[in-house]
Amino acid sequence: MARSGKKLGAWGAVLPLLGYCAVALGLPVWALIWEGIQAPDANGVNHFTFSNFTTSWHGVYLTGMLSSLRLSLLTAVISAVVGLVAAYAIAQSRGRLLKQAVLTASGVLANFGGIPLAFCFVATIGTGGVFLSWLNDAWPSFQLGTFDGLVVVYPYFLVPLMVLTTLPALDGLRRQWREAATNLGGSAWQYWRYVGGPLLLPAALGGFVLCFGASFAAYATARALSSGTVPLVTTQIASVLSGNVLATETNLGMALALNTIIVCGLMMAVYLPLRKRSAKWLES
């Protein structure tokens, strides 16, 4: 009747999206898995095997994975701390204009960043960059196209990401909570220990996880700055796929890609419950 017709219409409006995602997401992921567990033998015939995964956790690929993890952890920690402090400073300021400017700039940097940012840094502290000689006085071994260089550049898009994820939570901290804690005899430290800290923790950890994920998945910046000299999972995947390697290695590329999905999936498994909790608190 009219009611069930409405329900049907609603499903009709949702199904295209679901179908689209099933195809556009499902097929590639299925392809990764399907090809990742196969490898051609000497005759070029594919067989099911776990050898790709074994290889992907050994030798240069293990080095790449470890260095990716190290880079992501380090930059995520730096960005999370800096971003949280920055977000707090911004949340405290009253100027609407400043807030808007910072938020939109963060949106652009966190999303659009990659390549344009890399070039700004190349012009600043790359070879022949404006400030390179100054920086080398203080840090002689510094080069942009190295692990250290990436550590300097990555926060440029990770800090804005952290600001974007934690600002809503910081804005959601009500003045009444602070005053109530004070009124009940709490010091500033006690407020942060028992109220502010626990309330912010989910958002802060969530921001950290997002920073980690963004750092781990970053390819463009690393590629543009280091041209592949820093071994990272993402650049290894790209070079495995770029064609000038043996056919067996394309299957290895799938395995490597699956590894990144597993790592990010694990991080999301941590993040999602935290996000849910934080949202509930701040909406009440």
Lay out the site mask for other proteins across 43-62 (x = CB under 8 A, - = otherwise): --------------------
Q: Which stretch binds other proteins (CB under 8 A): 48-56, 58-66, 137-145, 238-246?
A: 238-246
| Structure-token pair, residue 102 | 């910072």
Does position 75 interact with other proteins (CB under 8 A)? The reply is: no
Does position 208 interact with other proteins (CB under 8 A)? The reply is: no
In single-letter form, the type of residue at position 272 comes to: L
3-class secondary structure for 155-205? HHHHHHHHHHHHHHHHHHCCHHHHHHHHHCCCCHHHHHHHHHHHHHHHHHH
Does position 81 interact with other proteins (CB under 8 A)? The reply is: no
- State the Cα torsion 172-279-78-269 to the nearest 10°: 180
| Structure-token pair, residue 42 | 């000497």
CA distances to 154, 195, 243 from 212, in Å: 11, 26, 29
Q: Which stretch binds other proteins (CB under 8 A): 39-47, 52-60, 110-118, 138-146?
A: 110-118
Instruction: Find the binder of other proteins among 29, 60, 62, 245 (CB under 8 A).
Output: 29
Task: Give the nearest distance from C-beta 59 to other proteins in angstroms.
Answer: 20
Q: Tokens 């602070």 identify what position?
A: 178
Considering only residues 248 to 277 of the shown chain, the ones binding other proteins according to CB under 8 A are 250, 253-254, 257-258, 260-261, 264-265, 268, 272
Does position 116 interact with other proteins (CB under 8 A)? The reply is: yes
Does position 84 interact with other proteins (CB under 8 A)? The reply is: no
Instruction: Find the binder of other proteins among 65, 80, 170, 237 (CB under 8 A).
Output: 237
Q: Tokens 């470890």 identify what position?
A: 66
Does position 194 interact with other proteins (CB under 8 A)? The reply is: yes
Instruction: Find the binder of other proteins among 44, 59, 140, 185 (CB under 8 A).
Output: 185
* Distance, CA of 81 to CA of 160 (rounded, Å): 12
